[in-house]
Amino acid sequence: MIALSLAEIARVVGGQTHDIPDPSVRVTGPVVRDSREVVPGSLFVALAGERVDGHDFAADVVAAGAVAVLAARPVGVPAVVVDDVQTALGALARAVVERLGATLVALTGSAGKTSTKDLIAQVLRSKAPTVFTPGSFNNEIGLPLTALSATDETRYLVLEMGARGTGHIRYLTGLTPPRIGVVLNVGTAHIGEFGSREQIAEAKGELVESLPPEGENGGIAILNADDPLVRAMATRTKARVVLFGESDEADVGAKNVRLTDNGQPAFRLHTPSGYADVTLRLYGEHHVSNALAAAAVAHELGMSVNEIALALSEAGTLSRWRMEVTERRDGVTVVNDAYNANPESMRAALRALVAMGATARERGGRTWAVLGPMAELGDEALTEHDAVGRLAVRLNVSKLVAVGGREAAWLRMGAYNEGSWGEESVHVSDAQAAIDLLRSELRPGDVVLVKASRSIGLERVAMALLDADATGEGEVAAR
């Protein structure tokens, strides 16, 4: 964080200092909410959760080197006491952002936010110091903590913004006002909470409404030309609009899109200043759109098309459990995409699985889709799970393993009704049952995709398969 004294912090957040002998002492380390992350110079944010109250750790964090605690009550150690800790955290982030000389880039969308954020960050990082959201730290707590990790050297701040209702993104942009806003897509993720795709679009569009008017150093709205609901957001912003996508009308686009033999996208990147070839290290054709969004941001910030193409081609996966591809010693490939799932990302992952398995099939390998429930779909849950099961059959996935309760049964039924009979698809009760099945059935050359909503915890399946490989238990004999 930019170094601030405790007196300055108290003034910014409207708090009172307690048990602080010298208010001129500065916070020079990170602002953290996890007591295990405290280092000398830190400011500890004492948030009260359902199970743990950060105030209970006040003495421990000061003993570990924290300068003070941002708290809702006196805690017997140096503290800045405020009425509401979360509100104060946001106010502190806003104050720090206003002092930065950095360009703020914010992005949102129903699917692909984290992967695209990672791409944008890696491309911009090749140009200048860049701070970006770790993982999916994209809410009213994670976003200000990310902003507060910026320093005087930071030139680009890349922030992912999530929403579970109208007004959420408007609140986040109030804490960290972006100059560049990117909207990726409008899908059905969280449709059970929003009610309709139109309501999701209304919420996502709050990002472009927050941007400053176009002009020198003015706002830039980067919108997906291939998504009608996103493209329509051009009427909701005063910023300059830049379109990305495979549409002929896109300012930044892709031509000659194809997949390599191992399922990695390759294409010719077109920008207003020229074109260059890109081959991504990521898996699945859906990453082309993500890469174009990143390219549009980089182009607007002055990078040449060759610099962008090189940075995209070198970028990897930064966030865990998102199409993490690992080949075991026995030739089984495990694709851990279990961080989260919605209908759009499920379809993209299945297509990536099939592309990755094309070469494996030639050697007798099979494709396995180990899928769990997609959460927060409301009245659309039955239809969407049925559709995913049907798609697995249409794509000729070799084996479907539906894991879990009612929603998993719908996945399996969709596959059955599409013509997947016998042992081609199966419904198992839980992760352990899936692990047992896979350990007994996998053979060299098989490719296994593991994917479900985060709340299901299906990453345990992928981790068990890889842990077994590490101990030699995962090796299987050819059948």
Q: Which long-range CB contacts under 8 A does 118-122 form with residues at least 24 apart?
A: 118/315, 118/317, 118/318, 118/319, 119/290, 119/291, 119/293, 119/294, 119/312, 119/315, 120/158, 120/182, 120/293, 120/294, 120/297, 120/298, 121/156, 121/158, 121/318, 122/311, 122/314, 122/315, 122/316, 122/318
The Cα 164–Cα 3 span in angstroms is: 33
Give the pLDDT of residue 468. 65
Place of tokens 């207003």: 272
pLDDT tens, position by position, 231-259: 999 999 999 999 999 999 999 999 999 98
Q: Are 368 and 448 in contact (CB under 8 A)?
A: yes
pLDDT tens, position by position, 1-27: 899 999 999 999 999 999 999 999 999
Low-confidence ranges of the chain (pLDDT < 70): 189-190, 468-479
Give the pLDDT of residue 312. 98
Tokens standing for 449?
């995709």
Give the pLDDT of residue 359. 76
Give the pLDDT of residue 478. 33
Give the pLDDT of residue 319. 80
User: Which residues lie across from 130 on neighbouring strands?
Assistant: 156
Question: Side by side, which strands form the sheet with 16-18?
Answer: 16-18, 79-81, 68-71, 43-45, 31-32
Torsion angle (degrees, nearest 10) of CA 335, 337, 398, 286: -100
Give the pLDDT of residue 471. 54
Give the pLDDT of residue 470. 53
Phi/psi of residue 81, each to 5°?
-100, 130
Give the pLDDT of residue 476. 46
The Cα 361–Cα 261 span in angstroms is: 12
User: For the chain, which domains are there?
Assistant: 4-83 (3.40.1390.10), 100-314 (3.40.1190.10), 324-470 (3.90.190.20)
The Cα 125–Cα 127 span in angstroms is: 5
Give the pLDDT of residue 429. 95
Phi/psi of residue 415, each to 5°?
-65, -40
What angle do helix axes 381-394 and 406-418 make, rounded to 10 degrees? 40
Residue 45 per-residue DSSP state: E
| 291 CB neighbour count, 10 Å cutoff | 28
Residue 205 per-residue DSSP state: T
Give the pLDDT of residue 469. 60
Alpha carbon distance, N-terminus to C-terminus of the chain: 57
